[in-house]
Amino acid sequence: MSDSPRTQYRTSPPAKLNLFLEILGRRDDGFHELDTVMVAIDWRDELQLEMTATPGISLAVQWLPSRSEVASDLGVEPDDPLLDVPTDGSNLVHRALELINDAAGYSGGWLVRLGKRIPSGAGMGGASSDAAATLRLAAAALASEDDGCLATLTGDRLVELAEQLGSDVPFFLGDVQSVEPTVANDLLRGNPGTLARALGRGERLTFYDLPHPHRFGVVYPAIALSTAQVYRHASVTEQPRSGLDAVNAFLRPHDNTDTEILYNALTRPACGLSPPIGEAIQCLRELGQPNASLGRHRSHCQMTGSGSACFIWLTPDGESIQEQRQSNDVNEAWLATIRERLPGGALVQTVATCPAAPEIHIA
Ligand SMILES: C[C@@](CO)(OP(=O)(O)O)[C@H](O)COP(=O)(O)OP(=O)(O)OC[C@H]1O[C@@H](n2ccc(N)nc2=O)[C@H](O)[C@@H]1O
Ligand SMILES: Nc1ncnc2c1ncn2[C@@H]1O[C@H](COP(=O)(O)OP(=O)(O)O)[C@@H](O)[C@H]1O
């Protein structure tokens, strides 16, 4: 490949929230059998790939808008390890490129720029989403440079590679099963799929179409938890709940004001490891909905994944476009109040549901 100007492949990997997570049992492979319901949200990283003639993977990572601004919001020093993201082979973006190089027999190189907004160790799937986006961008690049790759890198093949990268990674490929098994369809437009129930390790996915977007207030207290450590402190229940109840609550949102919908079996062990997580959930619960005037009294609050991020469901009984417009004004005041009430620094945002596999831009 000559060193002429290179084509850039870009996408914006979304984060995710676990609306429900039940642990069904411990597996022989050291993982846990799960029943979890995940939804993608528009709290996004930025990822850009270019193919290069020189072999090797060059990965540059930076926090957006800047490391110092993110550190300031979190109330930590800019050099705090909380903000360290690897640029070597331990970054899932790097590992995804190694896998796809082997799968496609590609011997050239990659130039990668990763802009981070999704906090690490937050239970928001940042690394997993970056990994899935890398698989899709690299497949798009290889398919545009070499037609032979279209036959090799089908949606199903990308799912196999995603499963090797992590339990949450397949979710961020979107509903690959619902489109023709060709790479081109999946990659450029992005796959359908916003909300999914996941069984197994998290790789057996069923996607559902949401009748309208849902909104959440998300709080990331300045705490990074090890997923493995939280699982180690979790217990298996004798009477598991079903994720289908949470799916139905989000598909038919008009009668949820008084029932507890959100559940996470990892919340108790995570709060045991880090009590400020419980404080953050309580702070959200006490403050409640920003639209209290609309008569929504119950506050649906929960931790996502293995933590430490927590969230409040802002649209438990559906929401008109008119209310959404009003909400945007109300939300800024609500966000400011949350930041004041939380002990210590935190990243606080209102988010909306979005496709798990975002569209790809080529320039
Ligand atoms: C907890 C969840 C909930 O969606 O998300 P996060 O909190 O990481 O975002 C997932 O189960 C995390 O998936 P992922 O982040 O891909 O974890 P992996 O790399 O596959 O596994 C990390 C470690 O978590 C534990 N693990 C993960 C998944 C699972 N079903 N059982 C487990 O016990 C294992 O100890 C494993 O070594
Ligand atoms: N692309 C990436 N972005 C962020 N963290 C990454 C990435 N690749 C690997 N990591 C590592 O993964 C861990 C956090 O993964 P992440 O998915 O962001 O959190 P969680 O699993 O809690 O959702 C950190 O230890 C971090 O060093």
Express each pLDDT in 287-346 by its tens digit.
Answer: 876 665 544 445 789 999 999 999 998 887 766 545 655 666 667 777 888 888 887 889
pLDDT at 151: 72
Which residue has a Cα nearest atom 4 of ligand 1?
A: 305
Question: Ligand 2 mean position to 40 CA, how many Å?
Answer: 16
Q: Note the Cα 348 to chain centre separation in Å.
A: 16
CATH match for 215-352 among 3.50.50.60, 3.30.420.40, 2.30.40.10, 3.30.70.890: 3.30.70.890
All structural domains of the chain with their residue ranges:
8-209, 215-352
Indicate which residue of 35, 45, 130, 168 is catalytic. 168
Q: Is 51 annotated as a binding residue?
A: no
Residue 124: closest CA among 46, 241, 19, 203: 19
pLDDT at 163: 97
* Phi-psi category of residue 180: left, alpha or beta, with phi > 0 → left and psi -120 to 50 → alpha: beta
Ligand 1 atom closest to Cα of residue 127 = 15
Residue stretches of the chain with pLDDT short of 50: 1, 294-297, 321
Domain 8-209 fold:
Ribosomal Protein S5; domain 2 (3.30.230)
Q: Is 120 annotated as a binding residue?
A: yes
Using DSSP bridges, classify how beta strands 46-52 and 195-200 pair: parallel, antiparallel or unpaired.
unpaired
Is 79 tagged catalytic?
no
Is 168 tagged catalytic?
yes
Asked whether 128 lines ligand 2 (CB < 6 A), one says yes
Indicate which residue of 16, 45, 175, 186 is catalytic. 16
Asked whether 123 lines ligand 2 (CB < 6 A), one says yes
Q: Is 105 annotated as a binding residue?
A: no
pLDDT at 23: 97
